[in-house]
Chain A
Amino acid sequence: MIRLPPVPGEWIDRSTVVPFTFEGKTYQGYAGDTISSALLGAGEKVLGRSFKYHRARGVLSLANHDVNAVCQWGDRPNVRADVTQLQANMNLTAVNTFGGLDSDKARILGTFARFMPVGFYYKAFHSKLLFPLWERMFRGMTGLGKVSFDTPHIRTPKRYDFCDVLVIGAGASGLVAALTAAEQGAEVTLIDENNRAGGSGGYALGAEASRMEQMTEQLNKVLAHPRIRLLTNTYAAGYYTDHWIALVCSDVLIKMRAKSVVVATGGYEQPAVFRNNDLPGIMLASAAQRLLYRYAVRPMQRAVVLTANQDGYRAALDLSAQGVEVVAVVDLRPDHLDGEPEQRVIALGIRVLSGYRIIEALPGAKGKSVAGARVGNGKSESETLPCDGIVMSVGWAPAANLLYQAGTRMRYTQSLEQFVPDILPPGVFACGRVNGVHTLSARRLDGQRAGSAAAAHAGFGDIREIVIPAETECPTHPWPIVAHPQGKNFVDFDEDLQLKDFENAVQEGFDNIELLKRFSTVGMGPSQGKHSNMNALRILAKLTGKEPQEVGTTTSRPFFHPVPMSLLGGRGFSPERRTPMHSRHTAFGAEWMMAGVWQRPEYYRRAGKDRLQCIQDEAVAVRQNVGLIDVGTLGKLEVIGPQAAELLERVYISNYANLKVGMTRYAVMCDESGVVVDDGVVGRLAEDHFYFTTTTSGAATIYRELSRLNTMWQLDCGIVNHTGSFAAVNLAGPQSRALLSRLTPLDLSAAAFPYLALREGVVAGIPARLMRVGFVGEWGYEIHVPANQGCAIWDALIAAGKEFDLRPFGVEAQRLLRLEKGHIIIGQDTDGLTNPFDVGLEWALKMNKPFFIGQRSLRVIDRQTRKQKLVGFILDAQFNSSVPQECHLVIDRGEIAGRVTSIAWSATLGCHIGLAFVRPELAEANTTINIRLTDRTTVSAKIARTPFYDPDNLKQKEPA
């Protein structure tokens, strides 16, 4: 019988039998089993095949510190069998096998090991010629589980949570830390990655029931405490700044913000390195103890225990107590404390071989089991101990991943042969094995100390001074490593790295820990060095004659364990803005486009017409009758106060102090380097009151920057952002005045409301600000109304527009109309290097002002030779082949001489028109330029003066 009779505290529920299949064979486990424990309980020892040599592998850590046992479960790849709860009717297969786990054909690779030296990938890929061959081969050979592309998308909302003290790890020290912090008044969240709390208190017993009783007592106190929340099946995947911890539960990711953090994550028990140390049946002592006490599984019948500390003796006692015959305890240390566990082992009549090591494990049939251990002390003849299992307890590496991520400086302590925290960041505390405290009673004291300090840091109670007694023995052996001429003494089980691989890597010059890691791939497998980094470091230290402290550790990055994509792939969140008239556009057939964060109608669909026709028709409607466009996406700001004009003088390149009340002026903004960054229209409502617009995409940043400048300059004025609170439309076309006059009592005569004037009045009963603007080159009005009146003004204009054939137009028609008028769009006809001189804005530039942003740089630029100029160009009216596109290059005598920034077909002008940057010598009117298309053919164009349309601006004047 492999399952033991009921064990006190076992995690399995024997009343619930769970059927499942593995590799096509049917098995039964119990509720509470993991996949691995159920398979072991059913007598299977081989759970997987190794990555490179396809060697049979079984349980090593049973704690997610290795990936010997990885399964494919339906469309879920890479399920960690050691820690995944068994579920009814699971259909599992081992990953990375060729023809099944039992007779994996790729195990032949083991015989070719000498042809696959360390750094094999680097060497293989060194030749470009052979690259494709190797790539095909490796893709076929490597990789673990199979990804199914039919897997449904699972998006899991993240949860946000807060606590005073977060304790990570609910083992001996973590339980006490949580209790202490809670008793001082802090709200505590205690997490543990295991199914149940308690840590090693539930299995590292040394056959002493009192150890488990003490743990249970602590756990019950925790469970009863009103200020402690216990989350099991939850691990801390990463530490981020200011105590922001990603907690991964079985079905959700919690972003936990703590005021202080106690890291009580314990240690990773480390494997010993000897020949065939990977045979199924050879496992860490803690794994064997977990099997015994959590799952009531007897891991072997006859065990050899390899140890270098009291934990190993306790494991021997546990094995013996549960009916395993312990053949011998092989102690690496020639001299060691004759402590209480040792005495109890000796009292049981178990052989203790001090100063001995395991030279090699002897494989059973096909390498699927262990048949014995050859041991020796280097002096007398070696001896073979027959056994079916080897249990290793040679030391610990701190589970310090989160501490490293938090910025902890670690120090190698010789007396412990372990890295321990040296300087912890504020608010981060460590206790227990990760802090170098190993004795059970000391771990509890250390938990008290850290819990008290963490609570005090969070503002609860005072720090309790607690002295932690020094360890009485070194819990970790500095060199649990035995060389063997035939190798197969594995350091990294994920990557099948043997001792000699490290010797070769160092010989080839990769003698720094970071280089060694990348060349050999040690610690780069799925378990990220949890069982291999410390031994690799010891080997490197020995090979290079350094101390472990000098060798140092590699960088520990999130995540601690791999996090399922479904927990990371949350809901997409890219907010978009809509204008108040959104529903009207939809009803009218708008084709939407994104403009910055805004949804805008690109054009309105018409039955039987394609996109280009619709756009052309809309433009023609504006030219011939009247059109209406929603411009509510413009940034709309107000500046009010005695120094309002001063602010505008300082941030725009033109003059505003002399702007008359009731008038508007074009406004261009530069940055400090003199680059054009935004434009708009400034209108003066009163001496101390301006209303002005920015570009659609610039609204938020311009408002923010103006606020900063105003804060810095401390001017006597305030800025208000009305972007969302005003709706705005542009009514443009020869009929716009006639139409508007139906809706407003305002005098719309050219004398009373001239071009560029600003008026406040009522339109369709709605209070409005009206500006006579000419962006599209027709008589027109920009009408701004409160956002909640947006639909009303739209509807009123549409209704009144019926008799004028009013047509709404979209962004594309507007782009064409302004292009005909030669107006630039910032960001399309300018880029991050364009200054006002480049784009013909000299007329707006008032260099004689006392100061404006960019002025000083423009003075320098003005003295320099111009490099480029934005010019208009036209294609021949008969041109009928491929049309150049924006960003196509202007080529002059084989050199790049500019680029197209805007181009469109103008129905009004009967040819293609565009804007382009060219070198100044090409900017003269009627110069022929050559534009190179994507297919490398060339199109000639002729430089033309802008505006292309209505160059004398007659459209803004009353017909004579």
Chain B
Amino acid sequence: MKIMTCPINGPRPVSEFFYWGEIRPMPDPDTCSDDVWADYVFNRNGAPGVKKEWWCHIASNTWFVAERDTAKDWVLRTYLIGDES
């Protein structure tokens, strides 16, 4: 089983975590076209690579960002939102 590092609680088994998905910017709903909006709502990029993802440590309800190489399945780093630098 994988280990995921919660920025608050440290390394824990991945079964304690909830994976939400890739962090994707929302297009402006008032100005974007229907096609752009539909693409945002329904399509996900499955191409392997380094992705920023939403993860949550369930027990402590800590949401954070994980940078993960989905080709290698390596978690490169994790941090709270706003602590990116």
Contacts and interface: CB of A to CB of B under 8 A. Distances in A.
B73 A241 contact: yes
B56 A857 contact: no
A242 B12 CA distance: 11
Nearest to A863: B34
A125 interface: no
Contacts of A721: 61
B29 A855 contact: yes
Contact of B1 (A244, A711, A855): A244
A856 interface: yes
Contacts of B18: 704
B49 to A, nearest CB: 18
B41 A673 contact: yes
Interface residues of A, number: 21
Most buried by A among B18, B40, B41, B58: B41
Contact of B37 (A707, A711, A851, A857): A857
A712 B26 CA distance: 12
Contact of B3 (A242, A255, A704, A851): A242
B41 A711 contact: no
B2 A856 contact: no
Contacts of A703: 61
Interface in A880-912: none
Contact of B81 (A672, A673, A712, A855): A712
A711 B63 contact: yes
Nearest to A243: B3
B73 A708 contact: no
A857 B41 contact: yes
Interface string A242-269: 1010000000000101000000000000
Contacts of B3: 242, 257
Nearest to B2: A241
Given A708-B54, A708-B63, A856 B81 contact: no
A708 B20 CA distance: 9
Q: Is the interface of B mostly helix, strand, loop or mixed?
A: mixed
Interface residues of B, number: 21
A711 B37 CA distance: 23
Contact of B63 (A241, A707, A856): A707
Contacts of A257: 3
Contacts of B81: 711-712, 714
Given A673-B42, A708-B20, A857-B41, A240 B1 contact: yes
Contact of A851 (B29, B40, B42, B82): B29
Given A704-B61, A707-B61, A242 B2 contact: yes
A703 B61 CA distance: 9
Interface in B28-85: 29, 32, 34, 37-38, 40-42, 54, 56, 58, 61, 63, 73, 81-82
A187 to B, nearest CB: 17
A467 interface: no
Interface string B1-39: 111000000000000001010000000010010100110
Interface string A678-715: 00000000000000000000000001100110011010
Nearest to B81: A711
A188 B4 CA distance: 23
A240 B40 CA distance: 34
B65 to A, nearest CB: 10
A255 to B, nearest CB: 8
Contacts of B38: 860
Contacts of B20: 708
A289 to B, nearest CB: 39
A712 B40 CA distance: 17
Nearest to A244: B1
Contacts of B2: 241-242
A241 B58 contact: no
B58 A704 contact: yes
Interface in A843-858: 851, 855-857
Nearest to A854: B41
Given A704-B61, A708-B56, A711-B63, A242 B41 contact: no
A242 B11 CA distance: 11
A721 B60 CA distance: 12
A855 B26 CA distance: 13
B36 to A, nearest CB: 10
Nearest to B23: A712
B37 A704 contact: no
A815 B6 CA distance: 41
A58 to B, nearest CB: 42
A704 B41 contact: no
A240 B29 CA distance: 43
Contacts of B29: 851, 855-856
B48 to A, nearest CB: 14
A719 B38 CA distance: 30
A860 B37 contact: yes
A18 B64 CA distance: 62
A708 B58 CA distance: 12
A860 B42 CA distance: 14
A241 B1 contact: yes
Contacts of B1: 240-242, 244, 255
A728 B17 CA distance: 29
A283 B16 CA distance: 50
A857 B39 CA distance: 11
Nearest to B65: A711
Contacts of B42: 673
Contacts of A240: 1
B32 to A, nearest CB: 8
Contacts of A255: 1
Nearest to B3: A242
Contacts of B37: 856-857, 860
A856 B73 CA distance: 34
Interface in A219-250: 240-242, 244
B34 to A, nearest CB: 5
Most buried by B among A240, A242, A707: A242
B73 to A, nearest CB: 7
B34 A860 contact: yes
B56 A704 contact: yes
B59 to A, nearest CB: 11
B63 A672 contact: no
Tell me which of A708, A721, A855, A860 has the highest count of chain B C-beta atoms within 10 A of its own C-beta.
A708
A525 to B, nearest CB: 30
Nearest to A425: B72
Q: With a 10 A CB-CB cut-off, give which of B2, B34, B61 has the most chain A CB atoms.
A: B61
A635 to B, nearest CB: 14
A633 B77 CA distance: 37
Interface in A819-867: 851, 855-857, 860
Contacts of A711: 63, 81
A857 B36 CA distance: 11
Nearest to B55: A708
Nearest to A709: B63
A704 B58 CA distance: 8
A857 B32 CA distance: 12
A762 B56 CA distance: 38
Contacts of A672: 40-41
A178 B63 CA distance: 40
B25 to A, nearest CB: 11
A572 B63 CA distance: 30
Nearest to B20: A708
A508 to B, nearest CB: 36
Q: Which 8 A-B pairs have the closest CB atoms?
A: A856-B29, A711-B63, A242-B3, A241-B2, A708-B63, A244-B1, A672-B41, A673-B41
Given A672-B40, A860-B38, 20 more contacts: A240-B1, A241-B2, A242-B2, A242-B3, A244-B1, A255-B1, A704-B56, A704-B58, A708-B20, A708-B54, A708-B63, A711-B63, A714-B81, A714-B82, A721-B61, A851-B29, A855-B29, A856-B37, A857-B41, A860-B34
6 contacts: A241-B2, A242-B3, A714-B81, A860-B34, A860-B37, A860-B38
Interface of A: 240-242, 244, 255, 257, 672-673, 703-704, 707-708, 711-712, 714, 721, 851, 855-857, 860
